[in-house]
Amino acid sequence: MRTAFISDIHANLDALEMVLADIAKQETDRIVCLGDIVGYGPDPNPCVARVRDVCEVTVVGNHDYAALGRIDTLGFNEYARAAAEWTTSALDKDSIAFLNSLPLKKVLDGMHLVHASPMDPERWTYILSYQEAKRQLGAFPEQICFVGHSHLPIVVEEEGEEIRALPFSSDVPVRIHRDRRYLVNVGSVGQPRDRDPRCGYAWYDSEARAVMMRRLEYPIANVQKKIVDAGLPPFLAQRLADGV
Ligand code: ZN
């Protein structure tokens, strides 16, 4: 079974279409979305509609919650807050209904799926240290957990007491050993933050026992223009080109 993972689309339709076109060219059995479909970008409704149509499973992200008014945006920086307010006013009835229907986490064929972190998903914890990764690896019983949220692709491998971070770069498969456990961050479709502006997604082949990241160029200037034309903060356009 080959599963493609998309996450943190952030209303960037140009990046989403590029990723979906690439997924369609591969042998892919299903697509899973790990949340943050909206927030920051200029095309929230078309992105929600595409995810609803193509994804077998979708979990909700903190920016989806913020756009629905289900969490306070006080913890957001000024750009994220301005974008959340813009998104709330832009969402149509169908998008609101779909986003409201999404679960915080899901288990699918032995894979744990959550936007931010398996331990207490509604705290939206970032997994950015070995200590945090160890805590989170103890919070789910399955062998492998897929997350998004930080927009930084990485594979964390647990072997007994030892934990190591493995690079997760484009087109380099990472082996999934039967006797080890994993936390896989699938990066971001619509707002990468690892200084590589290319849009990204990951797949997991359960027969080949491997995960792999894909990074693709997409027309960033188109999205930048739409962001500025929509009256969203220009910083949100600039960061797409910088990959931060
Ligand atoms: Zn995000």
Q: What would the pLDDT profile of 98-144 be if each residue is shown by its tens digit? A: 999 999 999 999 999 999 999 999 999 999 999 999 999 999 999 99
What share of the chain has pLDDT > 90, as a percent? 98
Instruction: Quote the ligand 1 centre to 160 CA distance (angstroms).
Output: 31
- Which tens digits make up the pLDDT trace of 20-60? 999 999 999 999 999 999 999 999 999 999 999 999 999 99
**Would you list the domain boundaries of the chain?**
2-242
Burial 165-184 (b: 16+ CB within 10 A, else e): eeebeeeeebebeeeebbbb
pLDDT of residue 87 exceeding 90 = yes
Tokens of 25: 């060219």
Distance CA 242, CA 244 (A): 6
Instruction: Quote the ligand 1 centre to 63 CA distance (angstroms).
Output: 7
Instruction: Quote the ligand 1 centre to 178 CA distance (angstroms).
Output: 30
* Phi, psi dihedrals of residue 89, rounded to the nearest 5°: -75, -20
Per DSSP, what are the bridge partners of residue 49? none
Tokens of 38: 């909206």
Instruction: Quote the ligand 1 centre to 62 CA distance (angstroms).
Output: 7
223 membership: H or E segment, kind and range: helix 220-229
pLDDT of residue 75 exceeding 90 = no
What architecture is the 2-242 domain classified under in CATH? Answer: 4-Layer Sandwich (3.60)
Backbone Cα Rg of the chain: 17
Per-residue pLDDT, 107: 98
Instruction: Quote the ligand 1 centre to 38 CA distance (angstroms).
Output: 8
Instruction: Quote the ligand 1 centre to 11 CA distance (angstroms).
Output: 10
pLDDT of residue 74 exceeding 90 = no
- Which tens digits make up the pLDDT trace of 50-65? 999 999 999 999 999 9
Q: What is the DSSP letter of 170?
A: B
- Kind of pairing between the strands at 30-33 and 2-6: parallel
Give residues whose Cβ lies within 5 Å of ion ligand 1.
8, 36
Instruction: Quote the ligand 1 centre to 10 CA distance (angstroms).
Output: 7
pLDDT of residue 67 exceeding 90 = yes
